[in-house]
Amino acid sequence: MKNKYFCIKFYVVFFLLVVISYSSFSQNCYPNNWWVGMKWNKVQIMVHATAIADALQNVTTNYQGVKILKINKVENKNYFFLDVAIAPTAKPGIVKFLINKTGQSFTVNFELKARRPGKGQSYAQGVTSKDFIYLIMPDRFSNGDESNDKIAGMRDQTLNRDTVFNRHGGDLQGINNHLDYLQDLGVTTLWLNPVIENDRAERTEHGYAFTNHYKVDPRLGGEKAYHDLITATHKRGMKIIQDAVYNHVGLYHFTIQDMPMKNWVHQWPDYTNTTYKDQTLFDPYAAKKDYRQMADGWFTKQMPDLNQNNTYVANFLIQHALWTVENFGIDGWRIDTYAYNDLDFMNRCNKALMDEYPAITLFGETWVHGVPNQSYFTENNYNIPYKSNLQGATDFQTLWGITDALTKDFGWTEGVNKLYTILAQDFVYKDPTRNVIFWITMILTGFIR
């Protein structure tokens, strides 16, 4: 009798432990929602949790209009990727995916939302040559909320306006507070340096080393502050451009700290930096070794180079871009380090955005030297094998032409003639008015109060 009682007691305890384990199970989905009626209706959901794929049997759902196409297990058992199709008939609601593992089952909720109204009119409007763009580094503009200057648990706890290498405390609320000022200047479009979480130990003020694509940096005010700023901007008839970084992430990105698979990033026997030599991408006589080092070498040791030929990486990046436009309602993308991306991937990413949002603007940072170099990365009139679908570029060539015109004597190749020569080469672009002309100035006065 004692043995029987002991067995019953054991099974009850075991059952409770299973229930506790089930109830405390934590997983992250990327993305964690999608929208009905999207052209991109085959979504690949990354599920990340400790040993999530270990003993995974199947995933099911009975949500009408949602079909599971494939369960993808990868090298790391902390991940699996779920391919789902969302039918045009699907309605907004919570999709419950039942994940069945040996000895346990649990549910992952995935929200389907109604789409944001006003595409091409109140968001995803695009930017034209009539617009005046103002570039802001949020940490450097204005501190609208001192409560988020330091966030407990984040690696960078600096707050010192006496050095450019520390955070200064600026945030999205600070920008929101000064929209009157910006509009009085004639600004029609705000372009912000990256707002995505950038949780590293130093030099986090610029934002270019993401650590979680689906999280707005809390030191800038988080997702709510970003929504509030964009809503306020649009109410004024102004537009917003977000900075995209596809080429690399930060060392502390969760997919680097716990990599889904070895080839998530470009791997080398020893650390290999990019050469920064864009010429090797279009030189018909360039060595394959030089081409690969330019394209696949890391931008810096702190910024692992994403392998965009990996279909999981490509889907992760493209879906995040679409998700961001629909979630926040941005009007255009400035694409960082354009030449260092896989260019075929960039064409796919650009096409996905333009198919979904025909009026959206896409322009790439092409910090290169020479009009042929710059125009190679944009829509152009060349009869060459690689044809870019990028609408425009940050026009460094015109920037340097303006600098020459203002600082050098008149000559056949210098001064005003250099600027004229550069502008006369506009015939190589499919539409030169899509290039973003800019002028670099140094602001020494610090924050706007």
pLDDT digits (tens, 9 = 90+) for 166-204: 999 999 999 999 999 999 999 999 999 999 999 999 999
Q: Calculate what percentage of the chain has a pLDDT beyond 90.
A: 89
Give the 3-state secondary structure of residue 380.
Answer: strand
Name which of 22, 97, 40 is nearest 63 in CA terms: 97
What gap in Å lies between CA 249 and CA 317, rounded to an integer?
A: 11
Handedness of CA 174, 177, 179, 181 (dihedral sign): negative
Residue 122 lies in a domain: no
Output the pLDDT for position 6.
Answer: 41
Residue 80 lies in a domain: yes
- CA dihedral defined by 146, 150, 153, 155, rounded to 10 degrees? 150
What gap in Å lies between CA 417 and CA 405, rounded to an integer?
A: 8
Residue 128 lies in a domain: no
Mean pLDDT for 65-93 is: 98
Higher pLDDT among residues 17 and 136, named by residue = 136
Residue 120 lies in a domain: no
Residue 408 lies in a domain: no
Q: How many CB atoms lie within 10 A of CB 384?
A: 10
Integer Rg of the chain from CA: 25
Mean pLDDT for 240-261 is: 98
Tell me how far the alpha carbon of residue 242 is from its chain's centroid: 8
Mean pLDDT for 79-106 is: 96
Of the residues 67, 82, 113, which one is the last residue of a structural domain? 113
- CA dihedral defined by 418, 433, 239, 331, rounded to 10 degrees? -120
| DSSP per-residue codes, 118-147 | -BTTTBS----TT--EEEE-HHHH--S-GG
pLDDT of 125 higher than 50: yes
Q: Which two tokens stand for residue 426?
A: 């506009």
Output the pLDDT for position 441.
Answer: 53
Q: What is the pTM of this model?
A: 0.92
Mean pLDDT for 214-238 is: 98
326 is catalytic: no
Residue 155 lies in a domain: yes
- The mean predicted confidence, pLDDT, of the chain is 92
Q: Is the preceding omega at residue 269 within 30 degrees of 0, hence cis?
A: no
What gap in Å lies between CA 162 and CA 268, rounded to an integer?
A: 39
Mean pLDDT for 48-67 is: 96
Of the residues 322, 342, 365, which one is the last residue of a structural domain? 365
Q: What is the pLDDT of residues 8-50, one digit of tens each?
A: 443 433 333 333 333 334 579 999 999 999 999 999 999 999 9
Among the listed residues 131, 296, 305, 365, the single catalytic one is 365
Q: CATH number of the domain at 56, please.
A: 2.60.40.10
What gap in Å lies between CA 319 and CA 315, rounded to an integer?
A: 6
Which residues form the domain of 98?
25-113
Among the listed residues 217, 336, 342, 404, the single catalytic one is 336
What gap in Å lies between CA 94 and CA 223, rounded to an integer?
A: 21
Judgement on whether residues 101 and 148 belong to the same structural domain of the protein: no
Judgement on whether residues 109 and 206 belong to the same structural domain of the protein: no
pLDDT of 222 higher than 50: yes
Output the pLDDT for position 439.
Answer: 76
Task: Judge whether 82 and 67 are in contact, CB under 8 Å.
Answer: no
* Residue the block writes with tokens 């969302």: 86
In degrees, rounded to 5, the angle at the alpha carbon of residue 234 between the alpha carbons of residues 232 and 238 is 110
**What is the identity of the amino acid at 287?**
A
pLDDT of 78 higher than 80: yes
Judgement on whether residues 192 and 310 belong to the same structural domain of the protein: yes
Span between the terminal Cα atoms of the chain, in Å: 79
Judgement on whether residues 208 and 103 belong to the same structural domain of the protein: no
Judgement on whether residues 137 and 108 belong to the same structural domain of the protein: no
Q: What is the pLDDT of residues 345-369, one digit of tens each?
A: 999 999 999 999 999 999 999 999 9
Judgement on whether residues 314 and 361 belong to the same structural domain of the protein: yes
pLDDT of 442 higher than 90: no
Judgement on whether residues 39 and 187 belong to the same structural domain of the protein: no
Judgement on whether residues 47 and 160 belong to the same structural domain of the protein: no
Judgement on whether residues 67 and 212 belong to the same structural domain of the protein: no
Q: What is the pLDDT of residues 272-295, one digit of tens each?
A: 999 999 999 999 999 999 999 999
Residue 345 lies in a domain: yes
Give the count of domains, the chain: 2
What gap in Å lies between CA 156 and CA 102, rounded to an integer?
A: 41
Q: CATH number of the domain at 139, please.
A: 3.20.20.80
Residue 348 lies in a domain: yes
Of the residues 319, 334, 365, which one is the last residue of a structural domain? 365
What gap in Å lies between CA 418 and CA 425, rounded to an integer?
A: 11
Q: Which two tokens stand for residue 244?
A: 């995209």
Judgement on whether residues 159 and 92 belong to the same structural domain of the protein: no
Judgement on whether residues 339 and 202 belong to the same structural domain of the protein: yes
365 is catalytic: yes
Name which of 354, 425, 342 is nearest 389 in CA terms: 354
- CA dihedral defined by 104, 105, 106, 108, rounded to 10 degrees? 130
Judgement on whether residues 139 and 81 belong to the same structural domain of the protein: no
